[in-house]
Homo-oligomer: A and B are copies of this chain.
């Protein structure tokens, strides 16, 4: 089934204990779509400057992604982010953010409308609401961040009422709901509107909350975390990409999608920038999926 993603495409400068990379591919939508495109046709929407390298699209083009929704601005540069990770690398220290082209709302082509699945990556909830209106997707998931919880709570609450699913991290889930206990936070998210709430916990795995069941997974056990940038968006891409391929939100499919999100994120963190996801093939995801099953298996 079709999957539209609206979000950021950017150039990152990243420093981790394993090295430094300047002006490498980044942005929520690039990670999301590189992961999701291993499962289904992804239609991209977002803004870039003319300085965004053409080579950035190569893998996505190979994987059949549609990019008529990418607006190229000649008068403004691409979004840039720079950050640093230290110690256990669970959190990035942001050194610089330059919104540039992201100051303009994305444009969505007419033929993106009515898509089976839509992912509204991290953007202002006002823009997300506008995109939701424009896109009229059948099943809509969104991400958010602490900044919007603090500055646009009302819009975010309105958005949540109209979403099928929310994907966010544990600190955000706690901040948004005011619940310190994560199980309560998940249940509170469902009361705010969405049918599904996915809470990502970085190296500690992820939770899924749905009216009728809860589900959790540890992260895929990788001994080589080189650059965690984009792990959450890769998770979302593997999750929604595989859901779009499976075509329904049943408990069994949601569980499988969580596992695919988990393994997609593991490919990302093992290399800098998008290298892990670009090198990855569906076959490897399936292999790690099977390993992850074994990893959590215990007998009755």
Residues of A near any B CB (own CB < 8 A): 17, 87-89, 174, 180-184, 187, 201, 203-205, 207, 213-218, 221-225, 252, 255-256, 258-259, 290, 293-300
Contacts and interface: CB of A to CB of B under 8 A. Distances in A.
Contacts of A255: 297-299
A216 B224 CA distance: 17
Contact of A181 (B205, B213, B214, B223): B223
A254 B293 CA distance: 16
Identical copies in the complex: 2
A296 B297 CA distance: 8
Max chain B C-beta neighbours (<10 A), residue from A17, A223, A256: A223
A90 B193 CA distance: 29
Contacts of A214: 221, 295
Contacts of A201: 204
Contacts of A293: 298, 300
Nearest to A219: B216
B184 A215 contact: no
B298 A259 contact: yes
B215 A217 contact: no
A216 B218 contact: yes
Contacts of A203: 182
Contact of A87 (B17, B180, B205): B180
19 contacts: A88-B174, A88-B181, A183-B222, A183-B223, A184-B223, A201-B204, A204-B205, A205-B216, A205-B218, A207-B218, A215-B295, A216-B218, A216-B296, A217-B218, A218-B218, A252-B298, A252-B299, A255-B298, A255-B299
